[in-house]
Amino acid sequence: MSSSTSSDIVVQAKHLGKAYQLYARRNDWLKQVMFGWYKTYFKPFWVLRDIDLQIRRGESIGILGRNGCGKSTLLQVICGMTLPTHGELRVNGRIAPVLALGSTFDLELSGRENVMIGGAVLGLTRAEILRKFDSIAEFAGIGDYMEQPVKHYSMGMKTRLAFSICAHVEAEILVVDEALAVGDAAFQRKCLDWIDSFRKTGTLLFVSHSMAEVRRLCTRAIWIEEGRIREQGDPSEVIRSYHRALLVEKDDVHRFSASG
């Protein structure tokens, strides 16, 4: 692969896998810490299995699949929120993770204080955050709630604030995980318009159960089933295959079971 081609790849995963440790009894975790070198006290639950993936600069990727298939975990690994159990991952560029940021707000602090913290976490200096603050507040549109503790916010208000911060960090990769589903129609419209503008220069990773949004926003779709990539390609074709599977393939509860 040439160096010029390599520079166009912003996310590359090879044989990526992620397993969580499930314990049958509460004290098994302590046993694992103390005696794990000798015996295993947990069952691995594999959420991702052998993911091979390349995402190029400027692509808009829609990730779809049933609940619990591994979509959100894949984004969490890409964002660095959790480490893979095995495999390789390379990410080239500043990431703005919309839903991830909202889930880490300090509930006791005000919206203003969380803007300062969230902006810093995403790589902005204090001076940059202060310069952008009025624009962030205007985009979020939560009015006087900006000065109130986040614990008093609705989920939609948290999403407004998180999206607004991410929209101002000048990221190269935007990660949206069902964030728009909890916003009202007017705010969804504002976010979709902003995403349309972002896609002209940035890379989008978009998880949604709205196939209409995936068709409209994405240049490629990836269908994940039981932690593996089952199909990827043109969004309309992948969505057609996915809908066909939903109709003819039973939603098996055993996919949520831990196994070795």
- Residue 100 confidence (pLDDT): 63
For 174-229, the pLDDT digits (tens) are 998 876 666 678 888 888 888 889 998 899 999 888 888 899 889 999 999 999 99
Domains defined along the chain, listed by start = 60-82+93-252 (3.40.50.300)
- Residue 83 confidence (pLDDT): 92
- Residue 99 confidence (pLDDT): 65
E strand or H helix at 238: helix 235-248
E strand or H helix at 222: strand 220-225
Tokens found for residue 110: 């005000």
For 13-26, the pLDDT digits (tens) are 999 999 998 888 88
Calculate what percentage of the chain has a pLDDT beyond 90: 50
Q: Any residues with CB less than 8 A from the CB of 219 and at least 6 apart, and which? A: 59, 60, 61, 235
Q: Any residues with CB less than 8 A from the CB of 118 and at least 6 apart, and which? A: 101, 104, 105, 162, 165
Q: What is the rounded (10 degree) CA torsion for 123, 20, 90, 129?
A: -10
Enter the DSSP assignment of 149. B
Residues 54-60 have a mean pLDDT of 94
Tokens 């690994």 belong to: 77
Flag whether pLDDT at 66 surpasses 50. Answer: yes
On average, the pLDDT of the chain sits at 87
Q: Give the pLDDT band (50/70/90) at residue 2.
A: very low
- Residue 37 confidence (pLDDT): 80
Sign of the Cα pseudo-torsion (44, 45, 47, 50, in order): positive
Q: Say how many C-beta atoms besides its own lie within 10 A of residue 103's C-beta.
A: 12
d(CA 32, CA 36): 4
Flag whether pLDDT at 75 surpasses 50. Answer: yes
Residues 92-98 have a mean pLDDT of 87
Amino acid (one-letter) located at 16:
L
Tokens found for residue 150: 């986040």
Residues 21-41 have a mean pLDDT of 83
In this prediction the pTM is 0.82
